[in-house]
Structure 1
């Protein structure tokens, strides 16, 4: 996704949510204290969180979605495995038969949609959602559906595991693999899958 380059304050003004005077006051606060202009306007009570999400979405050329009112079916949830949803912090909100719409909270992270298009083997597009709403929705629909990285590692016995690859045995550093959970999303997800496979192999 590419930001339009249009200032957020101007977008909010075009949406008839704030006046030029409001924008200038917010810019003065930003100059004196720092902070994002959208957040300043929310804190001043001039716009709502929903207004801010909608404006940021418009700035990024994205639709926005209100997860508090969205109808998220079990069929939609089944289209995105829990490990992918939690790793990438996305929630499926609509499928029109060819394109899956995913709610996310970062409009500038284009690599997320590129990764998911490949991993889900579907055309995908993003819709901007409030971060708090997204976290609550993930918790409501995906909580308890999979084991965490820590629980998988905790259930293992021994410090090292042997993996046979083309007839050659290699020792896997489990501590390093656990650390890699904080790496890029693709690495994090692959490590989760790998750890799960190792656990299944040893059971």
Structure 2
């Protein structure tokens, strides 16, 4: 999606070609996604990218900060897979797993999740930064004190 996202943002006049090139340089240098580089450099906000992708791919967007993630669905996909694909499962409706994705066009990620869980996957879009924060929070080891063990 990286090149496609950049092209679409330039075509829609959300960013300039010069901004795209600068963000691509940062992307290569820092090993980050294009969307992350664009937002980090202040060319476009995370929310603008999320809204744009939601419109472009006709999928719902989700604000993970305001959404309570179902703990049962978190167990369906491990943290490493979530971080690799920049996704987090958020809920389930019957045989469909609703998955927040930074890139809703990532068919490889959708196929992986479908294979791992056996569920159909319905993507919703969220910012990459919000997804990473949600993963870190959701999969964090519970704090256990020594007194709890004794």
TM-score category, normalised to shorter length: 0.5 to 0.7
Indicate which of 7, 16, 19 corresponds to 1:27.
Answer: 16
Instruction: Figure out how many residues of one structure are paired with residues of the other and give that number.
Output: 126
Q: CA deviation at 1:10?
A: 6.4
Q: Which has the larger radius of gyration?
A: 1
* C-alpha distance 82-34 of structure 1, shift in aligned 2 (>3 A): closer
CA contact (8 A) 2:89 2:97 kept: yes
* C-alpha distance 34-81 of structure 1, shift in aligned 2 (>3 A): closer
CA RMSD of aligned residues (A): 3.4
Structure 2 unpaired stretches of 5+: 25-34, 143-150
Query: RCO greater where, 1 or 2, for CA within 8 Å and sep 6 or more?
Result: 2
Give the Cα separation in 1 of the matches to 2:19 and 2:133.
30
User: What is residue 139 of structure 2 aligned with on the other side?
Assistant: 142
Q: Does 1:7 align with 2:8?
A: yes
Give the Cα separation in 1 of the matches to 2:9 and 2:86.
24
Give structure 1 regions of 4+ aligned residues with deviation exceeding 3 angstroms. 6-11, 28-31, 33-36, 81-89
* C-alpha distance 28-98 of structure 1, shift in aligned 2 (>3 A): closer
Structure 1 unpaired stretches of 5+: 12-22, 146-203
* C-alpha distance 98-34 of structure 1, shift in aligned 2 (>3 A): same
CA contact (8 A) 1:8 1:56 kept: no
TM normalised by structure 2 equals: 0.64
Give the Cα separation in 2 of the matches to 1:89 and 1:34.
23
TM normalised by structure 1 equals: 0.49
